[in-house]
Amino acid sequence: MASKRERSLHELYTDDPERADALVFDRRTDASRRGFLKGAGLATMGAAVGATLPYAANIPAGLVPAALAQSADKGPTILKMDGKAGLVVLGDKPLNAETPAHLMDDDVTPNDKYFIRNNGQVPDPKTIPSDIRAWKIRIDGEVNNPMEIALGDLMSRFPNVTARLMLECGGNGRSFFVPEARGNQWTNGGAGCAEWTGVRLADVLKAAGLKPSAVYTGHYGADPHLSGDPNKVTISRGVRIAKAMDEHTLIAFKMNGQDIPLVHGAPVRLVVPGWAGSSSAKWLNRIWIRDKEHDGPGMTGFSYRTMKTPIVPGSKADPKNTVILESMPVRSVITFPAHGTRLAAGARKIDLRGHAWAGDHAVQSVEISIDYGVTWKKAEVKAPANKFAWQRFTASIDLPSEGYYEIWSRATDTRGVTQPFQAGNWNPQGYGGNPVSRIAVLAET
């Protein structure tokens, strides 16, 4: 009779984290001991990560080691697309792909490393005019002077501006929620800070003449619905007029000095920095000014909404207890060294770097820990290139010995709001997950 195969610690954490936690961590009722690794558990955990654990006494019960976060038998699916470098595919219908943290290291995110977030199909290139200046955008609704303006006229009629601006998928960080929330399981890679050139949406709306009744925008693009039904709108989100009139909200036609690539919204798109990226309509062809909160696809139910009053994670939610996701939460990402780095033999120092951002706000500080959050060291944080650009942080980290280390980063914004240890305010579609950033490194003898 065949013997029963025992699951590895990695498999246990993937399939039955509570069982893994019970096997590895001390569960005696003595509160002073609860959460510490058992002797056998310490050996098992060390074997699983391939090294000794210098700060084993600090590991919180239930913490899945960062080194075990990726399934051992199924690696990420890497996007194979001309003009793209190493993005990780999260879904193909529609296409969504995130940028691994180590590819987010540039001060300005290059086009080839920029994440992809779609809700419908990418338009057929044949539907884009050979001369993109012929593309037209309609501004209507609560305006005195409705207009349909060609992109070429838009470029010449209004001042052109260029800025580094953060865009981030509303579901960035979704994979950190427990229990799992619906949707593509983004880690931290649904974000990028490109240099965008365009005209201020405010200048265009002033020319259209906003009526006193104007309170909200509704955005429309040319992306076909996944069903193929030409009468169905893929997504139509909007923003409060105050955000539309912010000087950094752009109708953009250049990305990093080049025509916008088709997958990123060519020939023209909105860039609404700091807010959920779904507000930044790609393939833009209409802005409808509303006299009420916009109610297009992607604005109602649980779509791009978080809970007003927290609920028990995984429980049934009430759409009436939701609020529209607007400014994105504070977040930090360690971009160097890469997760899983093995340091050169004898190396005990890391010159760490990363990026942090905070939606409508700026980042006040970033702290680094190598002992599971028991102590923290302040990193140096640079000012943003302009408002809504991400901020570089750096720190020099000394490791006391060989072994397995987790390096954590947490950012605090100018309101004093700090990244939590775990993703909080669970919601059915997993918005706003921004726990501390964690990478694993191995210091060898």
Report mean pLDDT in 10-residue bins for the chain, 445 residues: 46 55 45 46 70 88 76 74 96 96 98 98 96 98 98 98 98 96 97 98 98 98 96 97 98 98 98 98 98 98 97 97 98 97 94 98 98 97 98 98 96 98 96 97 92
pLDDT of residue 64: 81
The helix (run of H) or strand (run of E) holding residue 20 is helix 17-24
Where do you find CATH 2.60.40.650 in the chain?
331-443
In one letter, which amino acid is 18?
E
CATH 1.20.1630.10 fits 88-324, yes or no: no
State if pTM tops 0.95: no
Q: Would you state the torsion angle of the CA atoms of residues 50, 56, 60, 66, taken in this order, to the nearest 10 degrees?
A: -20
- Rounded Cα distance between 207 and 195, Å, is 25
Coil, helix or strand for 126?
helix
**Any idea which architecture 331-443 has in CATH?**
Sandwich (2.60)
CB neighbours of residue 1 within 10 Å: 3
Beta-bridge partners for 437: 409
Where do you find CATH 3.90.420.10 in the chain?
88-324
In one letter, which amino acid is 50?
G
- Rounded Cα distance between 197 and 258, Å, is 9
Beta-bridge partners for 438: 408
